[in-house]
Amino acid sequence: MRVVIKVGGSVLSDGPGNSPWMREIQAFVAEGHHLVVVHGGGPAISESLRQTQTPVQFYQGQRITTPEVLGHVIRILRGEMNALLVHALNRQGITAIGLSGMDGAFMVARHLPPKELGYVGYISHVKTDLLERLWSLGYVPVIAPLAPNESHTEILNCNGDGVAEAVARHLGADLLVFYTDRGGLRTSPAPDASIVDHLSQDEISFWIEQGKATEGMIPKLQAAQRALQGGVKQVLIGAFYDDRDRTTHIV
């Protein structure tokens, strides 16, 4: 089975150890699945900006990636977060290798409109042959959400959920998992609301428009919808092995 798992920066900040997300990855590898891991790093980027007193600007609720901010993004995502995650996986006996879209230019991105967002992009192409070759050599690719633009003149900061969706879609993945420590979609924004067990891709727009899905859940649902429309067979928000009763299944 071809599996793409997205692990967010807020989850990774807890450290590896015997964490649930590490057990998820170990289980996929132990069962012999072809696995790709995509990671985020938003909280670490925010902390880096805070410590250096780097100005943070927003446009319509989204953080603008200026050239100065991009420097922090590259250092945190491709440097610290990617290296630490690869190191943690290798320590657990998983042969992981770190990548970003710049490595072999295996991912290419386009600017995400509007232009006021700055150096922000979405993945337009994935060279899956590199990932398949790494699988054949026994590696688990670990991808930082950065990619060059089509002319290779800029590096663009990409949303991790969108990168996971694009990789899964181009690979024709059997399964895309957005791993979260809080479980899947809830029936309301209230923290104690119950988890929605199953959701069809046709219902996603309704949940977003009605305000039932908020903040970080919105890009996950949008990415899930694009993935399924692009041929991915199944999308989970929550987990695959642990706490399946707290997971939302989208088909």
Provide the pLDDT confidence category of residue 13 given band limits of 50, 70 and 90: low
Domain chopping of the chain, boundaries: 36-159
Answer whether CATH 3.50.50.60 is correct for domain 36-159.
Answer: no
Structure tokens, 109: 């991105």
Higher-confidence residue: 53 or 214? 53
Provide the pLDDT confidence category of residue 50 given band limits of 50, 70 and 90: very high
Provide the pLDDT confidence category of residue 216 given band limits of 50, 70 and 90: confident
The predicted-structure confidence for 225-234, as pLDDT tens digits, reads as follows 999 999 999 9
Residues 6+ apart with CB under 8 A from 34: 1, 2, 3, 135
CA dist., res. 225 & res. 208, Å (int): 12
Structure tokens, 50: 């805070």
Name the β-bridge partners of 175. Answer: 3, 234
3-state helix, strand, coil in the chain (%, to 5): 40, 25, 35
pLDDT of 87 reads: 95
The predicted-structure confidence for 69-120, as pLDDT tens digits, reads as follows 999 999 999 999 999 999 999 999 999 999 999 999 999 999 999 999 999 9
SS3 for 48-101 is HHHHCCCCCCEECCEECECHHHHHHHHHHHHHHHHHHHHHHHHHCCCCEEEEEC
Residues 6+ apart with CB under 8 A from 221: 185, 204, 207, 208, 213, 237, 250
Residues 6+ apart with CB under 8 A from 184: 195, 196, 236, 237, 238, 246, 247, 248
pLDDT of 17 reads: 59
The predicted-structure confidence for 188-201, as pLDDT tens digits, reads as follows 877 788 999 999 98
The reply to whether omega before 114 is within 30° of 0 (cis) is yes
pLDDT of 201 reads: 86
Residue 16 has pLDDT above 60, yes or no: no
CB 40 within 8 A of CB 7: yes
CA dist., res. 128 & res. 66, Å (int): 30
pLDDT of 15 reads: 60
Dihedral of CA 178/3/81/54: which sign? negative
Type of residue at 16: P
State mean pLDDT over 137-152: 97
State mean pLDDT over 44-73: 91
Residue 22 has pLDDT above 70, yes or no: yes
Higher-confidence residue: 34 or 210? 34
pLDDT of 59 reads: 83
Q: Could you tell me how far CA 125 lies from the centroid of its own chain?
A: 16
The overall average pLDDT reported for the chain is: 92
Helix axes 42-51, 67-74, angle to 10 degrees: 120
Q: What are phi and psi of 49, to 5 degrees?
A: -65, -40
State mean pLDDT over 128-135: 97
Of 12-16, 113-117, 219-223, the range with the lowest mean pLDDT is: 12-16
pLDDT of 127 reads: 96
Residue 184 has pLDDT above 80, yes or no: yes
